[in-house]
Structures are given as C-alpha cells and as structure tokens.
Amino acid sequence: MAKKLWGGRFSTSTDADFEAFSRSIHYDAELAEYDVLHSVIHVRALRNAGLLSHTESKALLKALDALRRDIEAGAFRPDPREEDLHSAVQNLLREQVGDLALKLHTLRSRNDQIAFDIKLYCRKNALEMHEKLRMLSAAYGELAARYENTPFLGYTHTQRAQVIRFSDHCLAYAEMFGRDRKRLSDYREHVRPEIGAGALAGTSIPHASYAEAIRETDPENRLEITVSAAPLDHVSDRDAVIELLSICAILQTHISRFAEDMILYSTAEFDYLDLPEAFCTGSSLMPHKKNADLMELLRGSAGNVCGDLVSLLVTLKGLPLSYNRDMQLDKEPLFRTVKLVLAELDQLARFVPGIRLKEAVIAKALEDEHLYGVEIAEYLVHRDVPFKEAHDIVGGLIRYSETQHILIREIPDTELAAFHPALSQEKLRSIMTPEYVIDSRNN
C-alpha cells in the first residue's frame, strides 16, 4: 500500500512519525466523489490529447465508475496508511487495472485536484445549506401562522419594550435566514471549479482536450467546471473555503441569537413557552431539571464556527504564491463547520414546530403598563403635544405610578388631567391593550 506519487529524487525514506503527522487520508476521504470526478475528466482529456488510447481510457473510466459507485454506497474504505486521498484513489485503481493506473496521474498535479475537489465540495454543501434553510424558513412560517394573532412582548436591551405579535418574532428570524440564503445563492456564482492547472503553470494538454472532456462528463454544465485560465491563482486560491465559513459564521450568529431567545423565554421567570421535551435533557443530580440543551449547544456553537473561520484566515495570511502545504489545513475546519451547520439546521427544522406558547402567561405579562408608554405618547402627539413633551409626560406618569405604588389604570381622572388634559382612564384603558397597539401600527 501507500505507494507514493513522488519520491524519485529522494535518498532517505520519510520519517514514520512525520508521515503520520502529515497524512490527510483520515479526513480528505470526504472528497472522494469529487476526486474521482477529476480523474474522469482528466482521463478523457488525456485520451482527447492522444496521451491515452481509447482502450486505456475505457478501462480507467470503467474502474473509476466502479469506485464512484462504491463511494456513493458508502463503501469507500481507503487504507488509513495512505498519504492522502489522491494516492489512495490511484492505489485502489491499481488493484483493478494494474500498472495502467500509473498513467492516471499523467501531467496532473495534486495541487490541481485538491483545488477542484474543495471547490466542488463547497458548492454542493452550500446548495444543501440553502435547501435546509428553505425548510427552516417554512418551519418558522408555520409557527408564525399558528400564532398569527397572538400578541407578544418585544424586548430591547433584554427589557420589556413594546407589544408585538409573536409572528413578528418568527418573521424576524425568517428574514435573517432569508439573507443567509441570498448569500449562499450568490456564493455559488463566486465558486468556479477549474481543471487543468497542473502544479501551478498549466500543462501541455490542450485546453480543447479538457473542454471536450468537461462537456462529455457534465453535458448540461451543471457544475460549471471550466478549464483553468489562471492556473497560478487556481492552485493558490482558497477563497471558496473562507467565504463559505464567513457565510456560516453569520448564519451561526443568527442561530445563536434565536437560541438565546428560546433559553430566555423558557426560563421559569419568563415562562412564555414550552420547548419540545425531545430536545431537552435533565440533570443527574437535580430531579426537576428540564434544560434547553439543544438551544445551549446551538448558542455555544458560535464558538466553533468563528474558530474555524479564524483558523483559515490565520493559515492563509501571508502565504506566498502559489500552493503551500499549509493549505492542507483548510479541510478539517471546513468539514467541521459544514457538518455542524447542516446538523444544526436539521435539528432546528424539527425543533421549531414543537414550540408551544403559554398564552395565559403571556396575556398576564401583557398587562404590564410599561409596554404601552409609546402608544400613550403617540396618542398625545396626535393631540398636538410635541413628542419630546409627550415622552416626558409619560415618563412622569410612570414615575408617579411607581413611587405611589398605584397602577396607571387606577390613577383617578383628576390626577391624570394634571399630567395632561387629554388623559383619562377611559382613554388610557382603551390604549393599554395589545389589540389597540397592533391595530395602531403602520402598514
């Protein structure tokens, strides 16, 4: 096993521990389907260029197709002692077609392969995220529909602010995830998988041979593969990885904020909603606990994604052109974050429908008179009180209510009039209801 793709000029054998340290097969196997695709196109290009006979290319393509099916079936088991995926694929092919496999790497470089593989991986997974976000948005939409007319408390500074509808809350998250989707769909246009860059400088295989091979392999051009026009850039470029991680970091920020809202709202103190028990856990010591574990893990995962993004930015900083081995370190952070985010989106899409509002508790909380300060001020403004003055009047009213330990709803009309003649219990009571508030909003 582990026949290397290089080594003619070396007289010393590689240090065994270094081999283990530098090996990537345990993670880059993730890219097998794309690597086989690269080989398929490359074999066809070699054949088109007259560097492989039709018989040879046929045999190689057949073996590659068998390998592709293995990968799809989850039956791809590379030898863990292989240096990397590219060596593993070639050595597996050799078991099928013998020394013909050695021709596979003709005028090809792993630099070209890995850049191709990783770009296709990024595109495919961006698409998958996009689809999962669509489903998540639908889940928010259904939740919003279920509680369409349920008034709710809106917060600023984590302090009660104004009455909103619960559907506004859902809508806010749907908006955020909508922006994430927009970013992901634009992202796909930023990532163009290329082939034919050689190690850094292109090769003597004609562009036309590659172009024809691409057409034969992906006739509808769904993968938007092109022949490398700027090979030096292609093998140096990891923009696709950093940009996807950036998009994930923003998305993850949204997730963490939603998680925080859920954690808050499900405390005994807020108590606005019941979270689906299937996503909560208990305590090994405290028998009563029901903890919002999924939400905590989603909140905390902001650390992982931000860390992975930073990891790439640091590694790429200041690398001279073109390929440097440091760039091998892009894969683990990328794979980690992609898998994490996909799993989070799955979890969320099943968690969200399980949210149940505790409407009685919310109704009670909506009695808090503070929530209606803006509406009282608005009412005064429409009676020609300058806003700043109206703001002061309501502020005074609240202070009076607090220091006198009396509800605003209970202040006699005579006293109310001292604040402003337009104020009366009848008026205030009609204003200080969720229904009034929601009706009054701009639309």
Active site residues: 157, 283
Number of residues that bind a copy of itself (CB under 8 A): 178
**Among 32, 120, 205, 355, which residue interacts with a copy of itself (rule: CB under 8 A)?**
205
Nearer to a copy of itself, 125 or 256 (CB): 256
* Interface with a copy of itself (CB under 8 A), residue from 281, 410, 412, 413: 281
- Sequence-distant (≥ 6) Cβ neighbours of residue 322 within 8 angstroms: 111, 200, 232, 233, 235, 236
Q: Is 135 in the site for a copy of itself (CB under 8 A)?
A: no
Tell me which of 43, 249, 345, 352 binds a copy of itself, using CB under 8 A: 249
Torsion of CA 86, 87, 92, 97, to 10 degrees: 90
Q: Is 302 in the site for a copy of itself (CB under 8 A)?
A: yes
Among the listed residues 18, 95, 220, 414, the single contact to a copy of itself using CB under 8 A: 18
Q: Which residue has the tokens 């995962």?
A: 301
Query: Minimum Å distance from CB 417 to a copy of itself?
Result: 18
Binding-site member from 135, 201, 363, 407 for a copy of itself (CB under 8 A)? 201
Nearer to a copy of itself, 163 or 214 (CB): 163
List the interface residues with a copy of itself, window 41-100 (CB under 8 A): 51, 86, 99
Distance CA 241, CA 209 (A): 29
Enumerate residues 400-439 that contact a copy of itself by CB under 8 A. Answer: none
Least Å distance, CB 88 to a copy of itself, is: 13
Q: Report in angstroms the alpha-carbon separations of 317 from 112, 240, 242.
A: 21, 15, 12
Q: Is 226 in the site for a copy of itself (CB under 8 A)?
A: no
Q: How far is the CB of 233 from a copy of itself (least distance, A)?
A: 4
CB of 182 to a copy of itself, least distance (A): 6
Q: How far is the CB of 69 from a copy of itself (least distance, A)?
A: 26
Smaller CB distance to a copy of itself: residue 69 or 321?
Answer: 321
Least separation in angstroms between CB 211 and a copy of itself: 10
CB of 220 or CB of 419, closer to a copy of itself:
419
Asked if 388 interacts with a copy of itself (CB under 8 A), we say yes
Q: Which is nearer to a copy of itself, 7 or 412 (CB)?
A: 7
Binding part of the chain for a copy of itself, among 36-44, 106-114, 215-223, 427-435 by CB under 8 A, reads 106-114
Q: What mask of x and - would describe binding to a copy of itself in positions 310 to 349, judged by CB under 8 A?
A: xxxxxxxxxxxxxxxxxxxx--xx---------x--xx--
223 in contact with a copy of itself (CB under 8 A):
no
Contact 187, 146 (CB under 8 A): no
